[in-house]
Amino acid sequence: MRDTTLYTLEQINFSEFESAFGQVPYKDGMVFTADKKVKMDVKQDEWTGKSYYDLYFAEKDKDGHWLSPQLLKGEINGRYHEGPATFNKTGDVAYFTRSNYFKYNLRKSSKDENNLKLFKAKLVDGKWKELEELPFNSDEYSVGHPSLSVDEKTLYFISDMPGGLGGTDIYRSTFDGVVWSKPENLGSVINTPGNEMFPHMSDDGTLYFSSDAHNNMGGMDVFASSYDLKNKKWLQVENLNYPLNSTKDDFAFVLNADNKTGFVSSNRSQKDKVFEIQKHDPTFWLTGTVTIKGKNLPFEDVTITLIDETNDSKNAKVSVQTDKNGKYRIKLKPNSDYIVYGSKENYFTQSVDLSTKGKKFSEDYTVNFQLDEIIIEKPIVLENIYYDLDKSEIRPDAAVELDKLVKLLNDNPKVNIEMGSHTDARAGDHYNLVLSDKRAKSTVDYLVFKGIDVKRLKYKGYGETKLINRCKNDVECTEEEHQQNRRTEFKVTKVIK
């Protein structure tokens, strides 16, 4: 129940059926499997006491209400069970599940069990005809629950054939135009010692299926995975969570071509029923508080600007103002990269990158800003800018800190600065002036290398002329005290209006 907003479900009520499930989109409606209460002239399933399962088609009227389902015409429905089916894109070829029988007689395995088989049928003059048994059927095990890939060359299905990992596993077979390949088990990432059933290969390459032995809420849950072509493996399966899944059996999840609507079967209402589903994007909100640096006071009327870097339209930029408590709130879009700016006149603008790409669950983001006032000629110390003894080259640890200054200058393109370098009082005065000047120049060279316009930059070495503690010539000090004087600073020289 991490995010209960991702799906909404609405049960479809077909009062004439005892149970209905295993639906797939077909033309302007759906085909599903259902049974009824037994009438005098209807053959009864000895296990359920109801009719055998048949395939039905239902569509909506112009107002969006489901019309009374109609039995599929032709030879596709017979004397015993017909179950879940899949169709090609033109809707004139069906692959469907049916009991193993010939004419009026059920066929049994060596264990005296009646298994399921897969058949192909063609739509001819409005009736399903030309039934053809698929080559990987057997009297000794079941094959069923077909799902056709978008290119119509691969059929996914379930089977309890020998060599599997558990009860029923998911397999696939490809058609080369002449023959079907030997069924391939999808392996242990998908299949478990339990039962995997009702595979559905969506148009975007996501495999949806139900299982009773992955990380389940209860009964059968719907899971999803996709195939990593580069590494040739199935990715770790994900439970689609509540409210799509429940503590009961949830199965036969399918999506329409829009990838936003579809169906799922569930017995959460005590009987197998079909539910329409609406798939929603996760919801993302950005919130935060802006304060004045050094005072920790809320900052009102700061402009928070959100730029969507994945969208080049006029809607890619959104701005809001902070309230009297310094707070703001902006809604984010899924699968987007953003830059968030906090800006106020006479204060340094700050920015933060964030992204909702790859996020599958609703989430709240928090970005707080502490805005620092721009004061002309006020020195600001850059922490952790160290040099090797008697050297002026920028060390990797100093580069990390200078990169923060690069970001500040990029966020504030109208600010010009001077870089200043200071030494401690040890060594000669002239030597320290020359060394500090070289060090200041090296910081400017680094900023230019990182793309900052050289016209915005000045530098100056101050040597030991601006000590910030008592450590003058001939004064004994600790190394820590000397280090306070060996500092790199910058100060704003001008803000271009």
Domains and CATH numbers, the chain: 7-279 (2.120.10.30), 284-371 (2.60.40.10), 380-495 (3.30.1330.60)
pLDDT in tens, 353-397: 999 998 989 999 999 999 999 999 999 888 878 776 677 788 888
Phi, psi of 485 (to 5 degrees): -85, -25
Specify the pLDDT at position 390.
74
Query: Average pLDDT, stretch 83-106?
Result: 89
Specify the pLDDT at position 9.
96
Specify the pLDDT at position 398.
84
- 488 or 169: which carries more pLDDT confidence? 169
pLDDT in tens, 119-143: 999 999 999 999 999 999 999 999 9
The proportion of the chain whose per-residue pLDDT surpasses 90, expressed as a percent, equals 75
Specify the pLDDT at position 311.
74
Query: Average pLDDT, stretch 189-196?
Result: 97
pLDDT in tens, 433-480: 998 999 999 999 999 999 999 999 999 999 899 998 999 998 999 988
Specify the pLDDT at position 495.
95
Task: Assess whether pLDDT exceeds 70 at residue 292.
Answer: yes
Task: Assess whether pLDDT exceeds 80 at residue 48.
Answer: no
Task: Assess whether pLDDT exceeds 70 at residue 43.
Answer: no
Query: Average pLDDT, stretch 36-62?
Result: 80
| Reported confidence tier of residue 41, pLDDT bands at 50, 70, 90 | low
Task: Assess whether pLDDT exceeds 80 at residue 105.
Answer: no
| Reported confidence tier of residue 308, pLDDT bands at 50, 70, 90 | very high
Task: Assess whether pLDDT exceeds 90 at residue 423.
Answer: no
Query: Average pLDDT, stretch 204-219?
Result: 93
Nearest to 319 by CA among 330, 309, 335: 330
What is the average pLDDT score of the chain? 92
Contact 196, 210 (CB under 8 A): yes
pLDDT in tens, 330-342: 999 999 999 999 9
Task: Assess whether pLDDT exceeds 70 at residue 92.
Answer: yes
| Reported confidence tier of residue 225, pLDDT bands at 50, 70, 90 | very high
- 263 or 105: which carries more pLDDT confidence? 263
